[in-house]
């Protein structure tokens, strides 16, 4: 289902997505902050070039140009609605627009209950907007989105408030105060994701063969896809973008390398956050394949004795999409 060829194709990715290095190269391009500079005109021009190739096979430039056009479209255009995703909520915008949120989370003392709660509201609001603009389908029920948002904000604020009060009562725990936003963010994001994708957990994800033939939904595949997404987005990313900058800032202060002027110190801190975010996002998204492969023996009984719809041969493997 992947290709190592550099020959341009609308159906096969440029990199081998069955390997970590291939997925990392793919997501490094998808999350490249420079893509935020692409204007609406640039995006629509790239889209027109892709459509021209799809309709009559004519390339608007070299193979490298076509891969670049495809990447511009993938970075900015929603595949189901064909609408351009607003810049702050694209994967390429996340490393940039998360900087002030992460910075304020890091500098807000755990004892500042109001400030901590306010930052979790802002963070979960941004996460919900990202979920909405990068949804898998055309429409999302407003009630489901509202419930997921309310649950995420409530859980994040409750965890942060409870842990903040615990740190107040037990001063020795202040050395672990950085874990308060990490735990609160991870648990809130997990509940947000689980509720947003509840249908996949209950009803399952679609399974297809290597030719794209659909064989129905598997609850096992649905749960695995949501779990892997939660592991990367809700656990690995918060740890990387909150814990690593904090450790690096403390190391600079310990060695007296942090600038003494407030503006320069803030600039250095924001730079550290950006580097950690820009590196952690593609590295964690690439941990699991976007397409999950299953031996049919791992799935429900109805998938274990299927034959190919065209060849009639026994099907040994099926595939599902994990989502982001």
Q: Residue 137 has what pLDDT?
A: 53
Sign of torsion over alpha carbons 243, 249, 252, 253:
negative
pLDDT digit string, tens, across residues 153-199: 887 778 777 777 777 777 777 777 777 777 777 877 777 777 767 77
Rounded distance between C-alpha atoms, residue 277 and residue 182, angstroms: 14
Q: 3-state SS string over 138-172?
A: CCCCHHHHHHHHHHHHHHHHHHHHHHHHHHHHCHH
Q: Residue 135 has what pLDDT?
A: 65
Q: Residue 3 has what pLDDT?
A: 40
Output the CA angle 214-219-224, nearest 5 degrees.
100
Rounded distance between C-alpha atoms, residue 219 and residue 82, angstroms: 29
> Between the CA of residue 237 and those of 89, 166, 242, what are the distances in Å?
16, 25, 8
Joined tokens for residue 66:
């076509």
Strands in the chain per DSSP E: 205-208, 214-218, 291-295, 317-321
Residues of the chain with pLDDT under 70: 1-6, 11, 80, 110-111, 135-141, 196
Q: Contact at 8 Å (CB) between 291 and 1?
A: yes
Rounded distance between C-alpha atoms, residue 195 and residue 193, angstroms: 6
> What is the spatial order of strands in the sheet that 214-218 belongs to?
214-218, 205-208, 317-321, 291-295
pLDDT digit string, tens, across residues 26-74: 889 989 999 999 999 999 999 999 988 888 888 888 888 899 999 999 8
Q: Contact at 8 Å (CB) between 210 and 319?
A: yes
Rounded distance between C-alpha atoms, residue 107 and residue 95, angstroms: 18
């Amino acid at each position: 289902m992947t290709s190592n060829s550099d020959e341009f194709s609308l159906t096969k990715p440029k990199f081998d997505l069955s390997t970590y290095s291939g997925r990392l190269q793919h997501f490094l391009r998808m999350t490249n902050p420079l893509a935020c500079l692409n204007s609406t005109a640039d995006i629509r021009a790239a889209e027109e070039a892709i459509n021209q190739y799809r309709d009559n096979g004519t390339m608007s430039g070299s193979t490298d140009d076509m891969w670049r056009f495809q990447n511009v479209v993938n970075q900015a255009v929603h595949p189901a609605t064909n609408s351009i995703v607003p810049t702050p909520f694209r994967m390429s915008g996340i490393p940039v627009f998360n900087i002030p949120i992460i910075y304020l989370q890091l500098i807000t003392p755990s004892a500042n209950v109001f400030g901590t709660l306010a930052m979790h509201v802002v963070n979960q609001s941004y996460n919900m907007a990202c979920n909405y603009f990068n949804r898998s389908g055309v429409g999302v029920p407003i009630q489901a989105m509202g419930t997921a948002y309310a649950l995420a904000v409530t859980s994040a604020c409750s965890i942060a408030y409870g842990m903040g009060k615990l740190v107040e009562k037990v001063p020795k725990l202040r050395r672990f105060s950085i874990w308060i936003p990490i735990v609160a963010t991870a648990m809130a994001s997990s509940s947000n994701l689980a509720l947003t994708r509840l249908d996949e957990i209950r009803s399952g994800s679609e399974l297809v063969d290597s030719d794209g033939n659909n064989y129905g939904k598997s609850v096992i595949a649905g749960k695995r896809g949501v779990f892997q997404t939660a592991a990367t987005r809700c656990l690995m990313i918060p740890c990387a973008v909150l814990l690593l900058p904090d450790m690096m800032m403390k190391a600079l202060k310990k060695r007296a390398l942090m600038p003494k002027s407030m503006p320069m110190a803030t600039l250095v801190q924001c730079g550290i956050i950006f580097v950690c975010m820009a590196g952690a996002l593609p590295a964690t998204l690439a941990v699991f394949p976007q397409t999950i492969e299953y031996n049919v023996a791992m799935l429900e009984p109805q998938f274990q004795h299927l034959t190919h719809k065209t060849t009639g041969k026994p099907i040994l493997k099926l595939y599902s999409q994990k989502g982001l």
